[in-house]
Amino acid sequence: MWRSTAAGLAMAMAMALAAAFPAKAQVPDRLVLAVGQLSRDGFDPTLGWGTYGHSLFHQTLIRRNPDLSLVPELATAWSVNDDGLIWTVTLRTDMRFSDGSPVTAADVAYTYEAASRAGGRVDLTILDRAEVVDDTTVRLHLKRSQITIVNTMATLGIVPRAAHGPGYARRPIGSGPYRLVEWQEDQQLIVEVNPMWSGPQPQFRRLVLLQAGEDAALATARAGRLHLVAVPPALANQTLRHLRVEERRTVDNRGVMFPMVPPSGATSLTGAPVGNAVTADPAIRRALAIGLDRQELVRLALGGRGDPAFGVADGLPWDEPEQRLPDANLAGARAVLEAAGWRDSPSGVREKAGQAARFTLLYPASDMTRQALALGVADQAKRLGIRIDVSGRAWDEIRRLQHSNAVLFGWGAHTPQEMFNLHHSSLAGRGSLNAGWYNNPAVDAHLDAAQRATSVEASLIHWQAAQWNGSTGFGMAGDTAWAWLVNLRHVYFVHECLDLGAAQIHPHGHGMPILHNVTAWRWTCG
């Protein structure tokens, strides 16, 4: 989330030297925000802009309320046929792009087909074609039934067909609440209210989003020149004049991915080795999952600003709480290991048939939070007689080693597609998705049934059963494909007069998720 640049530092410090905002001013014409890493690739939804947060410039067909329920945005209605292959979407007639042109079904169809061809962060390989029925009706034809297409409908911003092309990412045109005024890469993004916007009117005409490292951002905040600044949890235990601390609960999770198969000489599509003799033993995975003290990890690695994580979707509508087991259970964890034949040894590391209970846990070397979590896991594992060697690596190295070593990953999204990607056997070895080569036919059957459902509500029972159906599942009570550790809390210093409104549970940190309801922000002073 955080990256220092000379330009960003210079800008932030220059603002810090300017006069501070009046503490109890009338509604300001602009808000100055520092919300972490800004886009380096521009603002094209077909390439992934807006996937993990509000795009500012664009509207989606549908959107998620604070409770994550789906409601209309550009669409007035959407439905799917009985075999789940054709989605019909009816559009509003009163929406216009910031250049004044109307939003039509042709723009929607173009956006979906462009995204499916782009090969960016928007996964639309499921799309066969988009059909324009008339100006206000579009049909999305799928190659196979996939209920999670609704999440794409809630995250893919619509672009104007006539204006989309080379250079669009730098000068986006959309129908969202704001339009771009100026983008200085690695420094700041300035946006203002879109005069064509017909939705709830933002109270703040202009937003200035600064990009600065954490030190520069905090210095600017101390000088009274920021209305909101995102900070790592470890830096939130301080007092800044006229700013309060606000935390957002998240599914921005961190967990240990286990290689699930023993080494057999097999390699991945890229030639990387597959398998780990220790983590392939379910007793090792189960012992760690129930033996780790997650509350202690929250306290030591996150300064107390986080929550224990027990699954990939804690608290989301498709979560299955029954798959959770009590943690910090050292006696139970040791009993699991003993029953599986892992015996104490003079070295303090358990052994089984000559194999030491020892493996490597990788994490990205640039991420201090993941480092702290990895070290905490290794320290706690010693209590069980398991030795974990912690190693910080570059992402290129992690991708090469991830099928044969445990990895401390971060995930968390407003879609059950993520649990499909992490656990379906068809995706084994496909990059960092099912990196552990997990394979359970019963789980696959539940995941496939969820995708074939013709409503979100009907899919939930299948997503939940994939985690735990009473006898098997990928979750803690079943195969323990992961040992989930913590859900971060996103922490902000916020001006005492700024009300941020009702909040969603935040997804993974990419994409400035705090801005999801920026049109509802209000100034309470003056």
The predicted-structure confidence for 50-95, as pLDDT tens digits, reads as follows 887 778 999 999 999 999 999 999 999 999 999 999 999 999 999 9
Q: Is 397 helix (H, G, I), strand (E, B) or coil?
A: helix
Tokens at residue 376, please?
């905490």
Distance CA 170, CA 183 (A): 8
Q: Which domains does the chain have, with CATH numbers?
A: 1-38+186-242+496-526 (no CATH), 46-163 (3.40.190.10), 252-487 (3.10.105.10)
- Per-residue model confidence (pLDDT) at position 5: 44
Instruction: Identify the H or E element spanning 465.
Output: helix 456-467
The DSSP code sequence of 205-272 is SEEEEE---HHHHHHHHHTT--SEEEE-GGG-SS--TTEEEEEEEEEEEEEEEPP-S---S-B-TTS-
- Per-residue model confidence (pLDDT) at position 14: 45
- Per-residue model confidence (pLDDT) at position 360: 99
Q: How many of the other CB atoms lie within 10 Å of CB of 316? A: 20
Write the CB contacts of 230 (distance below 8 Å, at least 6 apart in sequence): 1, 34, 35, 36, 217, 490, 491, 492, 514
Summarize the confidence of residues 177-187 as an average pLDDT: 95
Instruction: Identify the H or E element spanning 9.
Output: helix 6-17
- Per-residue model confidence (pLDDT) at position 362: 99
Residue 20 — very low, low, confident or very high, per pLDDT cuts 50/70/90?
Answer: low
Q: Are 398 and 362 in contact (CB under 8 A)?
A: yes
What is the percentage of the chain residues whose pLDDT exceeds 70?
Answer: 95
Query: At residue 358, does pLDDT exceed 70?
Result: yes
Tokens at residue 379, please?
């320290």
- Per-residue model confidence (pLDDT) at position 24: 67
Query: At residue 1, does pLDDT exceed 50?
Result: no
Residue 340 — very low, low, confident or very high, per pLDDT cuts 50/70/90?
Answer: very high
Q: What is the pLDDT of residues 253-295, one digit of tens each?
A: 999 999 999 999 999 888 999 999 999 999 999 999 999 999 9
Residue 511 — very low, low, confident or very high, per pLDDT cuts 50/70/90?
Answer: low
What is the percentage of the chain residues whose pLDDT exceeds 90?
Answer: 85
Tokens at residue 517, please?
């309801």
Query: At residue 238, does pLDDT exceed 80?
Result: yes
Q: What is the pLDDT of residues 375-401, one digit of tens each?
A: 999 999 999 999 999 999 999 999 999
Query: At residue 133, does pLDDT exceed 70?
Result: yes
- Per-residue model confidence (pLDDT) at position 25: 72
Mean pLDDT for the chain overall: 93
- Per-residue model confidence (pLDDT) at position 4: 42
Query: At residue 345, does pLDDT exceed 70?
Result: yes
Write the CB contacts of 473 (distance below 8 Å, at least 6 apart in sequence): 320, 323, 440, 442, 443, 446, 465, 466, 467, 479
